[in-house]
Chain A
Amino acid sequence: MELDFSRGVHYWWALLPEIVLCIWGMGVLIVGVSKRHRQSGEDATGDPTLSGAADLGWLALFGVLGAAFANGWLYGVHEVGSGGMIAVDRFRLFANWILLGAAALTILISFAYVYRQRLQAGEFYGLILLATAGMMFMAAARDLIVIFLGLEVMSVGVYALTAFNRRDRKSAEAGLKYFLLGAFATGFLLYGIALVYGATGSTNVAAIGASVSAGTATPGLLAIGIAMLTIGFGFKVAAVPFHMWTPDVYEGAPAPVTAFMSSAVKAAAFVAFLRVIVVAFPEADDVWYPIVWWLAALTMVAANLMALVQSNVKRMLAYSSIAHAGYLLVAITASNTNAAAGLLFYLLVYTLMNTGAFAIVIGVAHQAEERLQVEDYAGFGWAQPLLGVSLTIFLLSLAGFPGTGGFMGKIYLLQGAADAEQWRLAVILVLATVASYWYYLRIAWFMWMKNPAKPDQHALVVAPLPMQLALIVSVALVLYTGLFPSAALDFARASVAGLGALVP
């Protein structure tokens, strides 16, 4: 099928996955309200496999599946030209896989949490779907305004999700913090968009790129605009020094939401950022290059150092997530084919390993937000060998150890840095990685090398069926991308072909 955006109706086709998600999300909301799920059928073990609001979770999962079908269908669609506000290219579709995967995994690991905390399941799952739709808009955007719209849809959904656990003070505090700082960041972004529009006369990224390379853009205005945009994105991807909100918000938000935020929100912001950088501003690299270079270096160093001293696992994973943003910023700095493909590949693997790790954090926490200290993991591996081995694999992958997808992702990013001859950033990246070994392995050593305070400490850990499903998928894919990465690597590389002015 051919899409011609001069005919407005074709936008409907181009946006099919997003539309499916939006409609389905609203559907889940309505079903959730109309069915008035009472938390009946609670049994003593608290195993929520198929009781309570689980049917809403499965319903939401079908929505993701539907959107995934639509996304697959878009591979058969070709657009005429590339001037539309919505891109129908492989880059977007690959990003959609990541986002949909993150949403599906989040839903799967939320079952137990939603049930135990008696959250409003319809709203919870509905918001996840709607926020995911916003992220997919960002991935698809060829226009700064669309990026902004997507960002807002996503952010508002995630603000609400962060504060979702009304009975938990920390959750409310995190929601407010996230909202205030998020609004602040959006202000930066919007101001940047306005200035770039003022400098170039367009909000379409391709048109901006043409204007910049033709030299018709107003230099001063453009530079400030780019800097503002970079800061706005810096907030969203949680780059140091715009990361201050991250640890508190990640710690306070309900754990599945933290998993969702740290993988999906980050992925959406990064793909949009990369598209803007390589399509609109490849010729203005003297403005953004030093900014992003320093953001990357600072983020990698500071986040890893701060993560060293955390004893709360959720907070540690929050800093770890900031650190990974630093690694990904290296790819933005390099902005060549290997780096862009590496960014996609890394986001894919990161989503899997990060969500997987959070799944086990949820399992160990048992009743919501308890038992999050690293001491609570003492002897966990021997008490629950399968979960313990899974968590060890996720941690090794987060640390970037051979045999896991995280290693291949790091190599890919480093190759991008090598092609751009950024040896300093490469060295900073590996040194930061050495530091990260410490805090990732700390959990491993508590799990396997210490004895639990109470012998039956881990008896209450339950991993209901949906969570097991999520774990099996993530472990399998993390190992698969680590041992046989060819297929995923080539897929990522093929997906960035034709994206902007990527140097080979």
Chain B
Amino acid sequence: MTALLDSIGYANWVLHALVWLPVLGMGLVLWAEEERAKTVAFWWSLGVLVLSLGLWFAFDPASADFQMTSSAPWIESWGVSYSLGVDGISLFMVILTTLSTSLAILGSFNYIQSRERAFYALMLLLEAGVVGVFVATDVFLFYVFFELTLVPMYFIVGIWGGERRIYAAIKFFLYTAFGSLLMLVGILYLFWRAKGLLGAPTFSYEDFLLVPLSMTEQLWLFTAFALAFSVKVPVFPLHTWLPDAHVEAPTPGSVILAAVLLKMGTYGFLRFLLPFFPAASQHPTVVTTMLVLGLVGILYTAWVAAVQPDAKKLVAYTSVAHMGFVVLGIFALTVNGLQGGLIVMISHGLSTGALFLLLGMLYERRHTRKIDDFGGLARVAPWLATAFVITALASIGLPGTSGFVGEFLALLGTFETHPTIAILATLGVIFAAYYMLPMVQKVFFNQLATDENREVEDASGRELAILAPLCALMIWIGWNPTPFLERMEPSVRAVIERVESAGAQVSASAEPQTPQSLDETVEASSTPPPRRDRRRRVDSRRRRARRD
């Protein structure tokens, strides 16, 4: 396989293709006839998926660096380049994106009845944007893609969504934009510091890593970046847009939102937040805050989910809880924690995506999402029931499913550094069973009471084609996580080492590690920011003017 990929120069062009093929597909879909749009979109996205699977083989698991990199100048006078690359953190996110996009498109064949061309065109545009987010290695380019994903999602929710779709769409948009624009100022600050340090404008990721920042700077910038990503994740208490958006979005929109858009936030944590601001990420107050927010997210949303009468809303809240585990894993700052967080990201993408698809299928049959309207469906729709149970168990984190591997590792990693929080978070797994299992029982087991429920048809071939790969992946990761973990490990270790090296500088000093001394030593160890000429000139100018 590797030889085949090498022979076609796969590594040289695949990332470009993954970003731009969906855009091309968008054009094709718009050009196609209305009734053929979905077929074109599906086969095109399937092609992109197949293409992306090669990444799995072409990726070198031993390396922590960006691979398959390529770079071309984009805006030279600003030092912006069009640079792409994948590492162990983004690899699975890319494949998850292509996979969920094609399954979501396949899952919307019946759901989307109007304005199909526009819908599938936006789905492909969204895919391009999300893949771009995960493969961009230039911070400016990353930001462009990060913002660009908002537009198609805004329209998907706003046009094809439910009753309160406009409210949900605008809320989603404004929340996310608020965070990301503050991050933009942070990016420009880093850019300005990098320009002062290196003498030439640059937005390159590697160059930003070189910028020495004082503790104060790190904390400010950390706040700006963390806000942007926390809204996206979403971290409690910034999560309120999510239930609205999830519930109002059409099924494929919810799938993409849950499976990949939320991951852009946690991906941002791993890719930018920790490496750029290692000292701030280690600051005890920061770590505690983030861990507690993750913990509250897990426990609080579990309670909220338990009382939801609307199945889709229930699943939406479980998203927040799952992402809470990711936040825990990341801010445990251990290799286990980070790897666990990454596996939860993948697992949540698969299981929540599948849950939304299943709820969409049920909605197409019964036109309701109320849990109480269902009952005993297992008898008439055994395949749907099987898929639902597997997915729900993966979502809870039953051993043998992907959810277990991820949550276990995340909790283990947290336990190594913060045992109390880990123990409390473990309750979240129990809560997950508490809200998920009754829902499964009420929908699929219990009495088959009503006529509408008796007439529910079992999964069609198309629907099985959607569900089978998802269920298979959940179980495969559950039994055999090693190929995933080994691909992540070097990159994850590199992140941890970068964070810890900032800590090592701290412990090298003779002072005991109090927050104050941390502050001072980081200040001392990083070279003082080069004061630029302009400052001095302006200052002297102002002074002179005042003297006059």
Q: From residue 158 to 188 of chain B, which have CB atoms closer than 8 A to chain A?
A: 158-159, 165-166, 169-170, 173-174, 177-178, 181-182, 184-185, 188
Give the distance to chain B from A181, nearest Cβ to Cβ, in Å: 32
Q: Is the CB of A485 within 8 A of B75?
A: yes
Q: Which residues 122-154 of B sit at the A interface, judged by CB distance below 8 A?
A: 143-145, 147-148, 151, 154
Contact (Cβ within 8 A) B177 A285: no
Q: Is A58 an interface residue (CB 8 A)?
A: no
Q: Is B541 an interface residue (CB 8 A)?
A: yes
Q: Which residues of chain A from 384 to 401 have a CB within 8 Å of any chain B CB? A: 396, 401
B146: nearest residue on chain A (CB-CB)? A402
List of A residues within 8 angstroms of B147 by Cβ: 401-402
CB within 8 Å for A489 and B78 given contacts A434-B178, A503-B538: yes
Q: How far is the CA of A437 from the CA of B181 in the complex (A)?
A: 11
Residues of B close to A407: CB separation below 8 A: 144
Contacts of A430 in B (CB 8 A): 181-182, 184-185
Q: Known contacts A402-B147, A415-B78; is A285 also within 8 Å of B189 by CB?
A: no
Contacts of B159 in A (CB 8 A): 448-449
**One of A336, A433, A493 near B534 (C-beta < 8 A):** A336
With beta carbons under 8 angstroms apart, the residue of B144, B148, B185, B541 that contacts A426 is B185
Given A434-B178, A441-B154, A448-B158, the answer on whether A402 and B144 have CB atoms closer than 8 Å is yes
Tell me the nearest residue of chain B to A402, going by C-beta.
Answer: B144
- Is B110 part of the binding interface, using a Cβ–Cβ cutoff of 8 Å? no
* Residues of chain B within 8 A of A411, CB atoms compared: 78, 188
Using a Cβ cutoff of 8 Å, how many contacts connect chains A and B? 100
Does the CB pair B181–A431 fall under 8 Å? yes
Chain A residue contacts of B8, Cβ below 8 A: none
- The interface bits of chain B over 524-544 (1 if a CB of A lies within 8 angstroms of the residue's CB, else 0) are 000000000011011001101
Selected contact of A396 from candidates B143, B151, B182, B538, CB within 8 Å: B151
Which residues in window 42-97 of B have CB below 8 A to A? 74-78
Q: Which residue from A382, A414, A445, A450 sits with its C-beta under 8 Å from B170? A: A445
Closest to B144 in A: A402
Q: If A219-B548, A489-B77, A503-B537 touch, does A448 touch B184 (CB 8 Å cutoff)?
A: no
Cβ A493 vs Cβ B537 within 8 A: no
Residues of B within 8 A of A418 (CB): 188-189, 191-192
Residue of A nearest to B73 (CB): A486
Give the interface centre of A420, A434, A450, A485 by most chain B CB atoms within 10 Å: A434
Chain A residues, CB < 8 A from B77: 486, 489-490, 493
Q: Is the pair B546, A414 in contact by a Cβ cutoff of 8 Å?
A: no
Q: Which residues of A contact B191 (CB under 8 A)?
A: 415, 418
Q: Decide: B181 and A423 in contact? CB cutoff 8 A.
A: no
In angstroms, how far is the closest chain B Cβ from the Cβ of A408? 8
- Residue B155 at the A interface, CB < 8 A? yes
Q: B548 and A215: CB pair below 8 A?
A: yes
**A445 engages B169 (CB within 8 Å):** yes
Contacts known (A419-B534, A448-B159, A503-B537); A486 close to B181, Cβ less than 8 A = no
The interface residues of chain B lying within 8 Å CB-to-CB of A437 are: 173-174, 177
In the assembled complex, the Cα of A215 lies from the Cα of B547 at a distance in Å of: 10
Residue contact A441 to B170, C-beta cutoff 8 Å: yes
B3 at the interface (CB under 8 A from A): no
Residues of A within 8 A of B165 (CB): 449
Q: Kindly state the separation between the CA atoms of A407 and B76 in the bound complex, as whole angstroms.
A: 17
Q: Within B184-230, which residues are at the interface with A (CB < 8 Å)?
A: 184-185, 188-189, 191-192
What are the residues of chain A within 8 A of B508 when measuring CB–CB?
Answer: none
What chain A residues lie within 8 Å of B307 (beta carbons)? none
B365 within 8 A of A: no
Q: How far is the CB of B189 from chain A (nearest CB, A)?
A: 7
Interface check A427, CB cutoff 8 A = yes
B-contact bits for A271-302, CB 8 A (1 contact / 0 none): 00000000000111110000000000000000
Whether B155 lies near A448 (C-beta < 8 A) is yes
Q: Closest approach, in angstroms, between the C-beta of A497 and any C-beta of chain B?
A: 13
**Residue A66 CB within 8 A of the other chain:** no
State whether the Cβ of B36 lies closer than 8 Å to any Cβ in chain A: no
Q: Is A421 an interface residue (CB 8 A)?
A: yes
Please indicate which of the listed interface residues B154, B155, B170, B184 has the most CB atoms of chain A within 10 Å of its own CB: B184
Q: How far is the CA of A285 from the CA of B543 in the complex (A)?
A: 10
> Which residue on chain A has the smallest CB distance to residue B74?
A486
- CA gap between A396 and B151 in the complex, in Å: 9
**B4 at the binding interface (Cβ < 8 Å):** no
B154 CB, min distance to chain A CBs, angstroms: 7
Given contact pairs A215-B548, A402-B143, A421-B535, enumerate 17 new A-B contacts (beta carbons under 8 Å): A283-B545, A285-B538, A286-B546, A402-B144, A402-B145, A402-B147, A402-B148, A415-B188, A418-B192, A430-B184, A431-B182, A433-B181, A438-B170, A448-B155, A486-B74, A486-B75, A503-B538
Query: What are 6 A-B contacts defined by CB distance under 8 Å?
Result: A403-B148, A423-B185, A426-B185, A430-B184, A434-B178, A503-B538
